[in-house]
Structure 1
Amino acid sequence: MGRRRVLRHERGCVTTDLAAFSLDDLRARAAERLLRHAPDPDDPETVVVGEREMLDPGHIPRAAAVLVGIIARPEPALLFTQRANDLRVHAGQVSFPGGKRDPGDPSPLATALREAEEEVGLDPALVRPIGYLDPYVTYSGFGIIGVVAEIDPSYRLTLSPGEVADAFEVPFAHLMSEENHLIESREWRGGVRSVHHMPWGERNIWGVTAGMVKNLYDRLYGP
């Protein structure tokens, strides 16, 4: 099966003034409030968010990075993928392009750009990094670095069907509106844990991806 191009624009309910989330305002906040250098999940001086408390004491997270890609339009949007349905883990879930660090990757930025090119054919030349999120440690044992970057609106995607079923945009204003940040309770290992949930039309953005969007919100708009 050959590789194919898919880009879908979907409608959703955005309840907040779009001017409050313009590209110019986003850039100003990013310059002031995002991390300027890639953090280290194992550094005790680094703020770590996510699910570290669910891991065994002393567990060293496996390094990974994702591209938190902002489409650089006057009314920006974030780029997401939907994982292929036959993957061994996290099949069908919404995610950011990205994955675990390869031995040859010199930095989290290199990992995020390589994975985005492999998964959705995103040309690295169209990506401009603007900062980093706090490390996000997952219950599955990964320490994920969110690389926040602008994507040129002229981008085109060629999806790798073995990894990605679809790619789509969600308006930045929708994701940065606090009323769209929900919490769900889910059973896990005989107990119950709380997970972030941000619905968008028929899409279900939840778990680690929604948690990283919440970290982006906290970084840009929090106290």
Structure 2
Amino acid sequence: MTLSTDGLPGWLDPVAHAATTIRGEQLSRFLPPEDGAGRQSAVLILFGEGERGPELLLMERAGSLRSHAGQPSFPGGALDPEDGDPRTEGPLRAALREAWEETGLDPSGVQLFGALPKLYIPVSGFVVSPVLGWWRVPTPVAAVDPAETARVFTVPVADLTDPANRATTIHPSGHKGPAFLVESALVWGFTAGVIDRLLHFAGWERPWDRAKTVPLDWRS
């Protein structure tokens, strides 16, 4: 399994370029432990084209899960032995497999075109490989297992870049991070951090009010 930028739509060129130049410390302050600790995993950052132009595929994790319950996220999960070498094709296979298992996505319609540096999620101990994909042939998606996935949805990139939908969240620990209020969801944490940096390095970011804060229990 290999990465290919052949035939990508022109609007994805900035993202493909960013994937070849961006460094881990430019994406997050949480990088994989030097001692190799952490569970290898991968997420699929899937760009498609909908009625309102470019869009991203996201899902909302079930509220009953042990880690990151109820959070919007990219499809993804831990690598399995059959995925292969975690240093090469393993994350690519895992990202597609997990997306299929969680959303019913047909992997044959996805073109993988890039991979971002590995990042770390301290709260769950995952070492995450973000894999970039182009939804070349869209197929129906939905929550496959309600015990794992509450819903699957797409978000127009135009909504993610709209300053009105952007805010800062403050975790109980005091950590501040970017957030997006889109599709009746508050996207925050790891997922929002990666989206925020991708928008920035792709040149799509629009000035927004970083002083605007939203509580994590924003629905209450």
Q: Normalised by the size of structure 1, how large is the TM-score?
A: 0.74
SS at match of 1:213: helix
Residues 205/73 of structure 1: CA separation in 2 closer, same or farther (3 Å cut):
same
Identity, in percent, stands at: 31
State the alpha-carbon separation in 2 of the partners of residues 62 and 221 from structure 1: 32
Alignment of 1:51-200 (within 5 A): 51-52=29-30, 58=35, 60-73=37-50, 75-106=53-84, 107-140=90-123, 141-152=125-136, 154-158=138-142, 159-177=144-162, 180-188=165-173, 192-200=174-182
Cα pair 1:73 1:153 within 8 Å, conserved:
no
Aligned residues: 189
* Amino acid aligned to 2:99: A
* Amino acid aligned to 1:149: G
SS at match of 1:155: coil
Select which of 187, 204, 213 maps to 1:205. Answer: 187
- Unpaired runs of at least 5, structure 2: 1-7, 85-89, 206-220
Cα pair 2:45 2:133 within 8 Å, conserved:
yes
SS at match of 1:35: helix
SS at match of 1:52: coil
Q: Which residue of 2 aligns with 1:216?
A: 198
Q: Structure 1 residue 62: deviation in Å?
A: 2.2
> Of the two structures, which has the highest relative contact order with CA contacts closer than 8 Å and spacing of 6 or more?
1
SS at match of 2:158: helix
State the alpha-carbon separation in 2 of the partners of residues 56 and 151 from structure 1: 32
* Amino acid aligned to 1:34: A
Residues 155/52 of structure 1: CA separation in 2 closer, same or farther (3 Å cut):
same
Cα pair 1:66 1:98 within 8 Å, conserved:
yes
- Unpaired runs of at least 5, structure 1: 1-22, 40-45
* Amino acid aligned to 2:196: K
Of the structure 1 ranges 172-181 and 90-99, higher mean CA displacement relative to structure 2 is found in 172-181
Q: Which residue of 2 aligns with 1:14?
A: none
